[in-house]
């Protein structure tokens, strides 16, 4: 605005004519307009950069993660060879046999079934497809995920009549074979640096060419739990259940408590010391770093109350305390948006304050409260750091059946997978898990936005 200043000071002087002034303004005008365009351009650049980050992040995650939803599967006709599986009939509970005896007999039978050489069953089945393959059993085992022998065993123990018969199975290829076939590993690396031996690689290529290996949707990603020994079969089910339990706890605890305190502070609270302190602490709590809540959980819930480590119960409690301020603040603002005339009308007709709040004010704010709850839950769903401090990053190989069981959570599973040594395979896995998490978060947010827009229209 230096130019503006000079024109104004010039006009204050006496010797400048109007014509001269116009000339001066005109002369500086070009430069000022250039600056204006530059500034405008900078604004657009900033917006484009910000949106560009969103775009690049989503594109990057999608492009890395989508391949992991496809998994190489070997279609094999498995022959349950009675010569390899030397097993008698599955015991049946005889009349008069006590349940304990039956259990013992069944367990013995199951133990024998577990001891059968399932690797050999798999190996012969594969050799039947490629009779000319001369490589060792190890190479065949290397391209099939090590969990798959249990798949066959379980199929057999559930249906012992399979003995001597043939049934088709779609078995998961091992992580290394999957990498090799997808090209996520550099194919030109020398033998010494490849995960699979040359024979195994050739076998995998051969099977793919014959159409015995196909890429199918990796549904086990959603139905299996995490696995260390058999990476290809690792899935999100355990973490998903852990997250679900925690969200349930957050919904059951944080939403009612949050709404109740918002109602108290907004509608009933007298202006005194106590309510001032409550207000200030809620605002401060909203800004406390999440990891501090993790420290609170570790010290109070785990060390003092001796609640179990790695349990969704503790995680849920920590996340509840963390999301409370969010829910309180959002609920208060939607309570504040209710027109005072409504309150006065209710009071004027003889309703008590409590009746006014619970019968008239609160029902109007339901969409707003729901929005607040969803935002709070979405925030809790994505939180990782406090969960690490209460041990939810422990490896858990079961789907938790109650909130007291050990479990993981979706974001923690992402953290665990990104640290896995099998980089080539788990980078895609991690991105796939991120896609699932982002999908959940975005749908939650979409619901919140939809509710908010409906609320705004009604007003």
Partner 1 sequence: MNTLIITALILAFLGIAYQTGSSRSRALAGTSGRRLHSRPSYHGSAIAIWTLVPLLLVLGAWALLDSYVIRTFITWYLPESLVAEGGNALRASIARVEALATGYGVVGEVQEFERTAAQAVGRFQTTAFLIVVAAATTLAALGLFYARKRITPQFRARNEVEGAVRLLLLACSVVAILTTFGIVASLLTEAMRFFSFVNPLDFFFGTVWNPRFSTTGAGGGGEYGLIPLLWGTIQITIIAILTAVPIGLMAAVYLSQYAKPRVRSVVKPLIEVLAGIPTIVYGFFALVTVGPFLASFGDAIGVDIRATSALTAGIVMGVMIIPFISSLSDDIIRQVPTAMRDGSLGLGATKSETIRRVILPAALPGIVGAILLAVSRAIGETMIVVLAAGNSPVLRFNPFEPTSTITVSIVNQLTGDSDFAGPQSLVAFALGLTLFVLTLVLNVGALYIVRRFREQYD
Residue 66: CB minimum distance to partner 1, A: 15
Among 151, 152, 225, 263, binds partner 1 (CB under 8 A): 263
For partner 1, the closer CB: 190 or 305: 305
Query: Is 12 one of the binding residues for partner 1 (CB under 8 A)?
Result: no
Residue 60: CB minimum distance to partner 1, A: 5
Segment interacting with partner 1, rule: CB under 8 A, options 164-172, 198-206, 351-359, 363-371: 351-359
Looking only at residues 305 through 324 of this chain, which bind partner 1 when binding is defined by CB under 8 A? Answer: 306, 309, 321, 324
Among 298, 338, 361, 436, binds partner 1 (CB under 8 A): 298
Among 22, 43, 108, 210, binds partner 1 (CB under 8 A): 43
Query: Is 450 one of the binding residues for partner 1 (CB under 8 A)?
Result: no
Query: Is 252 one of the binding residues for partner 1 (CB under 8 A)?
Result: no
On the CB side of 240, how many CA atoms lie within 13 Å of its CA? 15
Residue 136: CB minimum distance to partner 1, A: 36
Query: Is 337 one of the binding residues for partner 1 (CB under 8 A)?
Result: no
Residue 284: CB minimum distance to partner 1, A: 6
Residue 203: CB minimum distance to partner 1, A: 31
Among 293, 334, 369, 407, binds partner 1 (CB under 8 A): 293
Query: Is 184 one of the binding residues for partner 1 (CB under 8 A)?
Result: no
Residue 396: CB minimum distance to partner 1, A: 13
Phi, psi of 79 (to 5 degrees): -100, 120
Query: Is 265 one of the binding residues for partner 1 (CB under 8 A)?
Result: yes
Q: Nearest-5° angle of CA 225, CA 227, CA 232?
A: 95
For partner 1, the closer CB: 219 or 443: 443
Q: Which residues pair with 166 in a beta bridge?
A: 79
Segment interacting with partner 1, rule: CB under 8 A, options 151-159, 180-188, 196-204, 290-298: 290-298
Residue 39: CB minimum distance to partner 1, A: 4
Query: Is 208 one of the binding residues for partner 1 (CB under 8 A)?
Result: no
Would you give the binding string for partner 1 spanning residues 361-390, x where CB under 8 A is met?
-----------------xx-xxxxx--xx-
Query: Is 398 one of the binding residues for partner 1 (CB under 8 A)?
Result: no
* 181, 74 Cβ separation under 8 angstroms: no
Residue 69: CB minimum distance to partner 1, A: 17
Among 11, 23, 27, 36, binds partner 1 (CB under 8 A): 36
According to the 3-state scheme, what is the secondary structure of the chain?
CHHHHHHHHHHHCCCCCHHHHHHHHHHHHHHHHHHHHHHHHHHHHHHHHHHHHHHHHHHHHHHHHHHHHEEEEEEEEEECCCCCCCCCCCCCCCCCCCHHHHHHHHHHHHHHHHHCCHHHHHHHHHHHHCCCCCCCHHHHHHHECCCHHHHHHHHHHHCHHHCCCEEEEEEEECHHHHHHHHCCCCCCCCHHHCCCCHHHHHHHHHHHHHCCEEEEECCHHHHCCCCCCCHHHCCCHHHHHHHHHHHHHHHHHHHHHHHHHHHHHHHHCCCCHHHHHHHHHHHHHHHCCHHHHHHHHHHHHHHHCCCCCCCHHHHHHHHHHHHHHHHHHHHHHHHHCCCHHHHHHHHHCCCCHHHHHHHHHHHHHHHHHHHHHHHHHHHHHCCCHHHHHCCCCCCCCCCCCCCCCCCCCHHHHHHHHHCCCCHHHHHHHHHHHHHHHHHHHHHHHHHHHHHHHHHHHHC
Query: Is 182 one of the binding residues for partner 1 (CB under 8 A)?
Result: no
Residue 309: CB minimum distance to partner 1, A: 6
Query: Is 302 one of the binding residues for partner 1 (CB under 8 A)?
Result: yes
Among 64, 149, 220, 429, binds partner 1 (CB under 8 A): 64
Q: Report how far residue 380's alpha carbon sits from residue 246's, in angstroms, rounded to the nearest whole number.
A: 9
Among 85, 203, 437, 451, binds partner 1 (CB under 8 A): 437
Residue 110: CB minimum distance to partner 1, A: 23
């Amino acid at each position: 605005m230096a130019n503006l200043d000079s024109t104004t000071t010039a006009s204050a002087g006496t010797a400048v004519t109007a014509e001269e002034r116009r000339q001066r303004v005109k002369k500086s005008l070009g430069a000022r307009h250039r600056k204006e365009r530059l500034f405008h351009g900078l604004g657009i650049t900033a917006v484009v950069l910000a949106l560009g980050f969103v775009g690049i992040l989503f594109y990057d995650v999608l492009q890395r993660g989508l391949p992991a939803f496809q998994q190489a599967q070997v279609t094999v006709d498995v022959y349950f060879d009675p010569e390899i599986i030397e097993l008698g009939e599955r015991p049946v509970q005889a009349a008069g046999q006590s349940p304990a005896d039956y259990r013992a007999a069944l367990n013995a039978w199951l133990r024998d079934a577990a001891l059968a050489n399932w690797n050999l069953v798999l190996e012969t089945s594969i050799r039947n497809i490629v009779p000319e393959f001369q490589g060792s059993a190890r190479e065949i085992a290397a391209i099939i995920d090590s969990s798959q022998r249990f798949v066959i065993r379980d199929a057999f123990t559930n249906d012992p009549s399979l003995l001597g018969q043939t049934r088709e199975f779609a078995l998961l290829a091992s992580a290394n074979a999957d990498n090799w076939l997808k090209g996520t590993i550099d194919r030109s690396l020398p033998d010494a640096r490849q995960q699979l031996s040359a024979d195994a690689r050739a076998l995998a290529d051969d099977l793919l060419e014959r159409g015995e290996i196909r890429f199918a949707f990796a549904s086990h990603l959603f139905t299996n739990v995490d696995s260390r020994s058999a990476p290809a079969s690792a899935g999100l089910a355990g973490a998903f259940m852990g997250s679900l339990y925690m969200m349930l706890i957050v919904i059951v605890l944080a939403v009612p408590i949050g709404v109740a305190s918002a109602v108290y502070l907004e509608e009933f609270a007298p202006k005194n010391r106590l309510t001032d302190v409550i207000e200030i602490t809620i605002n401060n709590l909203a800004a406390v770093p999440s990891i501090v809540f993790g420290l609170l959980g570790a010290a109070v819930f785990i060390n003092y109350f001796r609640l179990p480590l790695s349990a969704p119960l503790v995680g849920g409690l920590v996340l509840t305390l963390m999301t409370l301020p969010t829910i309180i603040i959002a609920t208060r603002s939607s309570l504040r948006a209710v027109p005072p005339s409504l309150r006065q009308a209710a009071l004027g007709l003889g309703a008590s304050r409590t009746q006014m709040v619970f019968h008239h004010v609160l029902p109007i704010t339901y969409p707003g409260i729901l929005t607040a709850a969803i935002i709070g839950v979405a925030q809790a769903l994505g939180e990782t750091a406090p969960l690490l401090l209460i041990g939810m990053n422990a490896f858990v190989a079961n789907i938790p059946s109650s909130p007291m069981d050990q479990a993981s959570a979706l974001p923690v599973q992402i953290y665990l997978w990104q640290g896995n040594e099998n980089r080539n395979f788990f980078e895609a896995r991690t991105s796939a898990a991120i896609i699932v998490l982002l999908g959940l978060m975005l749908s939650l947010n979409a619901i919140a936005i939809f509710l908010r827009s409906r609320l705004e229209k009604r007003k």
